[in-house]
Structure 1
């Protein structure tokens, strides 16, 4: 252009070399030459980061630096990224616990940063950097995250397979395990892999990218992974948040200054004064934030991913453990099931906590919409955080004749270690509900298994504390139907109580006035089970007779009827402490109620075993002896008559005997009577046979849900035979309503029609199949409802219904 003079043509060279070995024009002459330049459009001469590379700005990336500058760049960037990754590792602490998480997280970050530096230093293509990442993960991942599977830190086939498999499965597994999860399977791969990838990406962006100031985003992503995959409680949030911002902003300011120097082609001293001033301002802000954070958000609770993930264990697939109560007494009364050492005084062994009742059985449950406070069964690590007040102890359990999936525990478990040959398999499949204190291992425990538990036995309040307390507020799964007679009796027993605690104590005392019998040989008759019908018998008879199974369930349902959260605990109660051998005869059950300010309080409503009814009384009431007549006196010896000298008569011939039977008459009578009976009996036999065949087909249907649907069809067919004509398009609920209206005694029985209809709908349209035990219990309810319906029509109506062919015809 005219009027423009090139500085290279009019100025001498500068007196010193530049950073890249070339000589530049003296800045004094450049300024004088620049004064003659015409004004240009700033937008046409602005250089953006998208337009620069190693040729336009040699100092922007690591490849454009040499010597000391190169080492300084690597040192500053790696140090800043390492500090950010250490802060990110803090977010995994509460989730994993222990020290191994620091080895895995920081070790993974170091490996990732090293791979990123090598890739930038050697200017390796992306695929080669990826190969180095995989190689570093497989070679060093075992020593960092899975040391138990390595030999002297070297990976074996098990280590490599766990690293490959865990890279896919550990992420979901982490969300379904109750924290802390240290020592569980391959879950430690999550912090290792997160920090490894974050390190290599952060180093690559800082040393190779045209936007190095964005390198902090990689460790920030690691922080988000640690928080979202962790637990709701936070750990050092001010340190992580403010510390991360302090380091990231200071380092970013330094890198931005270096970038500007590279773009201008200058080499100036870093503005450390500005950086230090900025760091000071951030430090003051950090102090203010640290002191004000508890005031702004005390005990903050955050939503994390594990809150949205459904646990992998559905305990409703397993039958209620309380159903085996009488089995322990009948089959294993003198057998040693467990040997427990270190058992605290007055402590019981817990097998399961039951908080859901359906009218037939009390069962274990998971938290859901109807019972959000029941707790969740999650995989259990080596330790469990527990802040309950009580006595701490270490208990060792050696399994003898016990063989079940429910893991015997004591109090609240804070740690577990399995030392037997099957210990690894038991621990891998162990689930624990921290709310109920119930543990379950899906592979079960059996003879020879040994494990150690760190436990806390909660402090039990005094009687005065209990009677002064009100009911708790936990929402447990439904426990219904409660028998009306039991609810009415609970109201009578608790009349005049000044608090919920006083009410449940009054009910406990009244139940303890009953009699104890488990119905075994030599004891008073006492039916097993805890269905609605059995509980009605318990409270309606003149004498309450039962064992722990009935009394504990009756206590829990009575408390529920008063609005007090309650549950049943099934386990063993040995007679001594320390080292004890637990036998089948030590089986027991008790009730726990939740009271405000006291938590879960133990109640034992079962009468003492010495309070047994008189055997002869119970025998006369339940098993009357048949009346046996005295044998007749022996006959008197007859007198011999005098001899008869009359000549004997000639014997009759066979022909004469036959002549005395009129066979024609016999045949005629048989035809006259038998043929009508046969004509009448064939339809009856055909109807009864077809109904029996139909019932058998429904009982043996291919799927469990079809068997439940078949049970409901039996109810509908019974109603049709009794005279009910259902609407063809009616739903199960509508048919149940019609059954209740037509047959009033159906609503008075232990099983309600709408309950069976609801269960059939859940089985048909629900996401899972019912278990075989649930199907058997459903059919028991079907038979009970059929009998209740029949009581509305009398014996003649029941006979007509049994012979009626109406239900053999389709109705839809």
Structure 2
């Protein structure tokens, strides 16, 4: 007499139903868990392409292919299992089914013949194309545009900052990716009963792709937790399919195991919440950094050359800034970081802007403003350093390195855009003085630096060797020794800057350029910022006379720090030197007639690394040891509790079946799992083989065979026998099971650890 491994009194053997579900090789909970995992993975794309419509379409893409696959499976199964004879009459009664046989490697006779995978995926895509066309392009008839966007849209998505706008060209590709992954998952669920990890793989690919394009530590942790939850649900449902029906007697133990697993998961999340904030921060890998995209250079008239004309006609209205709170004190127009000995230019490469700006700072005061262009002209747009969110025309572009903006279509009067920026706290003068030199590339100078500039730099710093202190002293020296004259001769070449250094008179942009050249001569990475101040009492109206130029020095741990080597000068203003030169606050005092502009350069933007808290390595090591100890002890304690409950069952037949199951579980942990469709004899033969691989002593063969024989007979009587068993027989079964378990725990030779 034989019995299946998972059978218990009054239950249908697992082998009688394995692989025969109406939905194929998986049960309904498995399909639902697969849909949950797919939707969690698809939700990752909302970080790249946010919006309600995108969320609804991604949910549709994650579930519709599964519904199509399930419906197709049901229709084919219904057509192949009609209960009729060839002549249309009723099918005669059939004889009782024979004893169950192993079916883990066979296909049931009622299983319908499935279509080839390429054909089913092709049909699914044929449905997806018009759905994408209707969802993104407004009409199902535009499926040709949707198909083209599925191919070309990825390049445009890599060229656009994230979060990207809801453009159909950008959103179609991710939608179809989620659809194809769900279609593959549906085919795997319908065709296989054992490829659990293969079912998770399509959703994992979708999730990994979204993380690669989205980034963000907090988001990655949250999304990973959600996707992991969906994957665990799926794998657990698949494991239930493989085990077959759950015996009534083992359900309490199953519930206890689920509770322990949930507690372990909560503990792991708690440990992660403690450990992750202490880990060292590292820059995120962005695939855009490794892909050549069609960047847009800054074209047109150099903004530095427009400073003098703007100052000569100071009343021209350029743009207006509005906001719900305090207005920004300054806005940057362009960053100039290349110098050829005659003029400063920008090496920035702008790319199409979504609603976000990459490499944004992680902290600071949030400020949202709207800018309306008037007579500014050109292509560069004023920006509050450093923006993190944008809302403007589709022609908006952003430089990922500086966060500065331009409009590829040119600036027309009436152009509006909104930006949200994070203003970091200004560094203290002591922090600036102590900051080391940052290994930034902005230190190159063409040959032929005039001696007047070198002498000015050496005089300014004296014997100071600290880079931050050198930058501050140089700004203070120029503030005190060089007079700002808006009417001075234009030019930024070596000759004109040498004259400014010698005479002590120059325009605002010339003094800033002189500072930049002198600082680079000292080995400091420096760039020039052309921008504007927002005057007090003008209701956010910025005129041409509000133009400003200031240098920024990149210092280690602080990023780009702005310095003020010159007082803002305009008709009617009196430039008064400040007693000291320290970094300006990020929100400097308002400039009023008759007062000088404070000197210290503010940290308008921080493109450098933010200070990172030093990890508490002893605490991390203690937590890691606790996690490892918990991971090692939890399954052993759980098995001991389960074994005690099995051993103490009140019914002797249930105790005998539990003893047999304990031996089977031990064999599985020893590397010899028993198929769910195996009979008792086949299962114990598998156990015998597993013990034999461990090379037991020669005198152990006869006692082992006796234990196997008695346990087999007692188990078969417990499952199918009509005569009640005694407590003594149950005790005998457990004694023999304990001896078999000890044999299975014997170490195996290294070459034969795995069967």
- Matching residue within 222, 236, 255 for 2:241: 255
Q: CA deviation at 1:79?
A: 0.5
Q: CA deviation at 1:117?
A: 1.8
* 2:390 is aligned with 1:416: yes
Q: Deviations over 1:512-561 (max 9, x none)?
A: 33233344xxxxxx33232223222322x3x1332122111221222233
Contact 2:475 2:564 in 1 (8 A): yes
Greater RCO (CA < 8 Å, at least 6 residues apart)? 2
- What is the root-mean-square deviation of aligned Cα atoms in Å? 3.9
Q: CA deviation at 1:83?
A: 1.8
Q: 1:410 to 1:467 in 2, by over 3 A?
A: closer
Query: What is the CA–CA distance in structure 2 between the aligned matches of 1:568 and 1:601, rounded to whole Å?
Result: 11
- Matching residue within 440, 444, 448 for 1:479: 444
Q: 1:71 to 1:131 in 2, by over 3 A?
A: closer
Q: 1:107 to 1:269 in 2, by over 3 A?
A: farther
Query: What is the CA–CA distance in structure 2 between the aligned matches of 1:555 and 1:608, rounded to whole Å?
Result: 15
Contact 2:482 2:504 in 1 (8 A): yes
- Matching residue within 128, 142, 162 for 1:137: 128
- Matching residue within 493, 511, 524 for 1:531: 493
Q: CA deviation at 1:413?
A: 1.6
Contact 1:472 1:596 in 2 (8 A): yes
Q: CA deviation at 1:203?
A: 0.9
- Matching residue within 325, 331, 336 for 1:354: 336
Q: CA deviation at 1:199?
A: 0.9
* 2:412 is aligned with 1:446: yes
Q: Deviations over 1:174-216 (max 9, x none)?
A: 3333332253553333432222111111011111347554322
Q: 1:448 to 1:454 in 2, by over 3 A?
A: same
Query: What is the CA–CA distance in structure 1 between the aligned matches of 2:557 and 2:332, rounded to whole Å?
Result: 23
Q: Give 1:380-529 correspondences, 5 Å limit.
A: 380-384=353-357, 386-387=360-361, 390-418=364-392, 423=393, 425-427=394-396, 430-433=397-400, 435-461=401-427, 464-465=429-430, 468-481=433-446, 483-485=449-451, 486-497=453-464, 499-512=466-479, 513-519=481-487, 526-529=488-491
Query: What is the CA–CA distance in structure 2 between the aligned matches of 1:335 and 1:610, rounded to whole Å?
Result: 13
Q: 2:269: which partner in 1?
A: 290
Query: What is the CA–CA distance in structure 1 between the aligned matches of 2:341 and 2:251, rounded to whole Å?
Result: 76
Q: CA deviation at 1:489?
A: 1.4
* 2:326 is aligned with 1:339: no
Q: 1:133 to 1:441 in 2, by over 3 A?
A: farther
Q: 1:562: which partner in 2?
A: 522
Q: Give 1:310-321 correspondences, 5 Å limit.
A: 310-315=292-297, 320-321=302-303
Q: CA deviation at 1:114?
A: 1.7
Query: What is the CA–CA distance in structure 1 between the aligned matches of 2:52 and 2:421, rounded to whole Å?
Result: 22
Q: CA deviation at 1:439?
A: 1.1
Question: Which TM-score applies when normalising by structure 1?
Answer: 0.56
Q: 1:580 to 1:495 in 2, by over 3 A?
A: same
* 2:232 is aligned with 1:246: yes
Query: What is the CA–CA distance in structure 1 between the aligned matches of 2:518 and 2:404, rounded to whole Å?
Result: 23
Q: 1:618: which partner in 2?
A: none
Q: 2:75: which partner in 1?
A: 122
Query: What is the CA–CA distance in structure 1 between the aligned matches of 2:3 and 2:35, rounded to whole Å?
Result: 45
* 2:186 is aligned with 1:199: no
Q: CA deviation at 1:101?
A: 5.0
Query: What is the CA–CA distance in structure 1 between the aligned matches of 2:458 and 2:469, rounded to whole Å?
Result: 12
Query: What is the CA–CA distance in structure 1 between the aligned matches of 2:284 and 2:534, rounded to whole Å?
Result: 43
Contact 2:384 2:421 in 1 (8 A): yes
Query: What is the CA–CA distance in structure 1 between the aligned matches of 2:3 and 2:366, rounded to whole Å?
Result: 84
Query: What is the CA–CA distance in structure 2 between the aligned matches of 1:600 and 1:577, rounded to whole Å?
Result: 30
Q: Higher Cα Rg: structure 1 or 2?
A: 1
Contact 1:350 1:571 in 2 (8 A): yes
Q: 1:113: which partner in 2?
A: 66
Runs (5+) with no aligned partner, structure 2? 5-14, 77-113, 573-755
Q: CA deviation at 1:269?
A: 8.7
Query: What is the CA–CA distance in structure 2 between the aligned matches of 1:317 and 1:339, rounded to whole Å?
Result: 23
Query: What is the CA–CA distance in structure 1 between the aligned matches of 2:505 and 2:464, rounded to whole Å?
Result: 26
Query: What is the CA–CA distance in structure 1 between the aligned matches of 2:571 and 2:427, rounded to whole Å?
Result: 27
Runs (5+) with no aligned partner, structure 1? 1-26, 31-56, 262-266, 367-375, 520-525, 613-812
Contact 2:298 2:346 in 1 (8 A): yes
Instruction: Give the match's secondary structure for 2:561.
Output: strand
Query: What is the CA–CA distance in structure 2 between the aligned matches of 1:83 and 1:565, rounded to whole Å?
Result: 51
Contact 2:486 2:569 in 1 (8 A): no
Q: 1:163: which partner in 2?
A: 146
Question: Which TM-score applies when normalising by structure 2?
Answer: 0.60
Q: Deviations over 1:386-443 (max 9, x none)?
A: 446554333222222222221222232232223xxxx3x324xx2243x423112322
Q: 1:189 to 1:60 in 2, by over 3 A?
A: farther
Q: 2:215: which partner in 1?
A: 231
- Matching residue within 36, 45, 54 for 1:83: 36
Contact 1:77 1:203 in 2 (8 A): no
